[in-house]
Structures are given as C-alpha cells and as structure tokens.
A and B are shown apart, each in its own frame.
Chain A
Amino acid sequence: MTDMKLMQGNEACAAGAVAAGVRFFGGYPITPSTEIAETMAKILPSVGGCFVQMEDEIGGMGVVLGASLAGKKVLTATSGPGFSLKQELIGYAACAEIPVVIVNVQRVGPSTGQPTSPAQGDVMQARWGTHGDHPMIALSPWTVRETFDAAVMAVNYAERFRTPVILLMDEIVGHLRENVQLPAAENIDIYPRRCPSKTRLQGYEPYAPEADLVPNPADFGTGYRIHVTGLVHDYTGFPSGSPAVTEEFIDRLHKKILLAQDEITHYDEFFMDDAEYAVVSYGGVARTAYEAVRQARAKGIKAGMIRLMTIWPFADKVIRRNAESLKGILVPELNYGQLKYEVERAAGGKCPVKLLAKYNTEIFVPGEILEGIEALKGGRL
C-alpha cells in the first residue's frame, strides 16, 4: 500500500488508468469530466505517454482508436453532450474490436442540461447509445478508491475482450474528495495485450477467435499487414456480405462477453441475510442509500442493499436470487427511471420493484430514501 492521500474521483480515475498501463489520452474538455483530461495532460508525458486535445469528442474518440490500433492502451473522458458525439465510434470499436475505455461523468441532461449537477441519466445510453446490436461493459464506482480500481478493471476488460468499456461515473463521485490509500504498483493486476499466435506464413487470421471467442488482431506496424474495418468482416478482417458470416459475427461479439458475465459482474450485498426489503443502488447515489438502509435497520426494518458496480452486463442473477425472498425492492435513481426497469425484469415478478426518481439537480438525502423504504413497506409506493 502507498501513503494516504486526499484525492478527487476524477483524479483517481486518471491515476487508475495510468496504473493499468494507459499511455494515450485524447479528448475534448467538458464539465464535470475535465479534471481527468487535465490530470492526463500532466501525467502522461512524464511516463513517456501522449495526451492530445482534439477538436471535438468525435476526434477524441477517433484519435484514441488509432492509437489503440498502434499498440497503446487508451482512454478518453467526457460527459453527456460529448458522450452523445462519441457514440458512432463506440460502435466502430465494438465492431472492429478495438480496446478503448470511455469515461462518462454523468451530468443532468438532456442537451446542455445542468452542466455542473449530478445525474444518472445516461445508463441506457451507455448500453444502447450506438446503433446496432452490440454487447457493452459499463462500471459505475461509488467511492474515490473504487474509482481507481474501476479504471484499472475497465482497461483490463477493454484489452481482454477487445471491446469498448464505459466507466460510467457521475458528478457526485467525480468531484468527491476522499482520503485514499492506493495499492502499490506490484499489487495491481494488469492484463497485457495478447500477441498473434501465428505468423503471416502460418496462415494468421487477425479476426479468428481464440477459445474465449476474442480475436488477436496484430498491432499496426508489426509486420502483419492486417485490414481493419467497421464493415462486417470475416476472420480475415475483410468485409463480407454473407448472412452466415454476419450472424456468426454478431453472435460472437455477444458471446465473448456472455462467457465471462459472472466474472465481470461486480456487486456488494449489505444486510441482505434476513432482509425483507432491499434498495438496489449504484454510483454516487449508493452512498446515500447505504446510510438510509442503516437508519432503517436502526428503526427495526429488515432492510438490505444490493450495490451494483457492474451496470452492464446487468446483474440478473443476484437480483433474481434475492427477489425470491424479498417483499419489495426500491430503486433510487437520479433520473426519470432507467435501471429500475432492468431490476424489474430481472426480479421476474417475484416481488414488487418501485422507483424513487429525482431529477431536479439535487442529490438524495438519506431521509428521502428512508421514507421510500418505509413507504415500500407500508405499501404506499
């Protein structure tokens, strides 16, 4: 462990990314994510990396994808309006299987919305923002320390699955300052990018999947002369119009994540052993929810909490397992209701799932969520 230090969530995000091996950042400034770019501008050149401020978020996304193809681990960071602009190339990364981490520090939308206020309004955009069928990994940390870990994890998953990974932060955690103790470098697990297992002469195919269904396209400049495209392609990497190739391709994109779903679904369960009511929460809101659940317990209510760190793929199993024995679930969200519907789907009718929505720029206070739990118990929600 290293020394304790006071750190902001956005700074922890940058530090985690660099610790995981990120050596390239491209982006465009936007509140409340800007400190990530500013921190990267400062740190990256000192470790021999590169920071570039692009002309817009689309350029920011393109430049990191180019750098990733040339062998660097890469990061870009933004918020609502910029996240919307990045969507086309997030899909490009999914299709061409380019490792990349996109941080979205959520603020109130739609449009320019409330630039300095927290929200969780991009949960569905993180999943479905780019067009077409594609899988998605999104992580939503709740503390400054976990933001560091989530950044490391996001980079590792991007590299391992060769897919875009979204670090879905919010303004609460992004701008929060906490005392943290970061792990020593030797205690951080880093996933090294895989190298081609065959030479060109041995019939190397850049998009042929390995056993985990993830392919190994060679980095540019290493002598493999590969072709990378956003058109549907076969194992050679060249476009194919075949229905069979297209179907297998879309299947494989999904299955490579599905195979590892349990391993990459991270969550905490608090006071759930004998719980009759549960709060399902994520991101900065989970901090308030945790306090509310403790207060409910102090009042003798058998309340518990499931805190989701992995938002996508959705934690179906833990919700279903708990729903069996619960009398009700409350989902507080800083939006008009987004993840609530996933919780409801996963609960499969085993218990009622109620939304506590807030979208007026203010964060929840524990009393509001406590009232929600009491109302849920009293059948008033």
Chain B
Amino acid sequence: MGTFMSKTITIDGQVVPFKEGQTIMDAAMAADVYIPHLCHNPEFTPHGSCKLCTVKVNGRNVASCTMPAVEGQQVLSDTLELNDERLSLTQMLFVEGNHICPSCEKSGNCQLQAVAYYLGMMSPHYNHFYPQREVDASHPDVLLDRNRCIYCELCVRASRDVDGKNVFGLSGRGIGSTLVVNSASGLLGDTNLAATDKAMQVCPTGALLKKRQGFTVPIGQRIFDHHTIKDVQLGDKHE
C-alpha cells in the first residue's frame, strides 16, 4: 500500500475500494456489501436485465452489475425506496411466470424465492398472468420447465461461453419472450447438453433441473430455509 492510493466509492456511506474495470457490483461483493441480484453471477459477463441490482448513483438509478465504479461515486443501495422497487420487480417476476413453489423441486434452493424472502415478500401483489409456457422433458437427464424461467440468460451465457455448446437462447420480446433450444426440433433431447454442463449449475430458479433428484434433500432443510441469500452469496465469494 504505502504511497499507493486506492480508488474508492461509497455505498450507503461505507467507503468501498475498487480496482479499475470493476463494476459497482464487483466492488460491493469484494467488500462484503450485498446488493440484491438475480441475473448476475460474477463468473459471467453481466447481462443487466433483471434490474434488481439497481442502485442510486449521484441521484440516478443505474444497474450496479453493469455500471463501472468511478472514483468518488456516492452509491445508495440499502434504502427503503430501492428495496421497495426491488420488491415490486420481484413480485412482477412471480406473476409473469407460473411459480408454484410447493410443487417445485428448487424450492428452498431457489434464488428468486430467496430474494423474495430477503425482501420480505408476503404476496406477489399483482394479478397473476398464468401464462401458457411449455415444459420440455425430452432430455433423458434434464427437465426444462419454462414456467419458472426468469430470462436471466445465465444458461445461455454458460452454455455458450463455458460449455462451448450454445444450447440455449432467448427469443421474442417482453411478455412474448421464451427460452429457446438450439436444435432442429427445438427439443432439449436433440441437443448435446449434458447434466454435468455449467449451464445446468447456474440457473437461479427451478427452470432447469436434473432429473431423478427430487426431494433428496427434504423441504425445510435446504439452503435458503435457514440462510439468507445475502449470507449465502457473500459467503460464496470466500470459497
């Protein structure tokens, strides 16, 4: 250290150092400051779509997972106003899909649910869309249940950038978005996806599940049943 002055921003008044090229999210996570997020995973290029990580920088709302940290930024994150907005976004994600947690194998390990717990979501508030979404059970080892997909594109990024298989893609816009599968039939069973692929490890929800794993860990003994997503995601970084 000595003569070397590291650059800093503040988050909710706390001084947080950063290195050139880091986003506000990177700097926050390195300093053990939790900013709620769903489409961001530090292993992948940010996608900036869920907006859950929105913070206020010098009075403006920005997505902290894509916004570069710049010397002297004053960032607000854990405020009533921003957490209310995060709650509304989370509630919209619930009603835009079909999230029937009691019948979902991801329950208790699901990041969408965990963020909702963290934000104290007592109900999805908005009217449910109950959209018609397709389930693809054609793969011998993997179930794709689009009812639970939040279009975070993590599987798309993982399959393309890590697995080198390019199995998934997003198609359409807004409420017409769907997760598409890159095979002539459009079915997962006709791709070379393997249950061990990175794409299978990154889905924050129960949209992509390994088959024959149902209830190996009982409900009530799963990670977010006892730990907040804040503790889990800040803890992960140290592994």
The yes or no verdict on A and B being binding partners is no
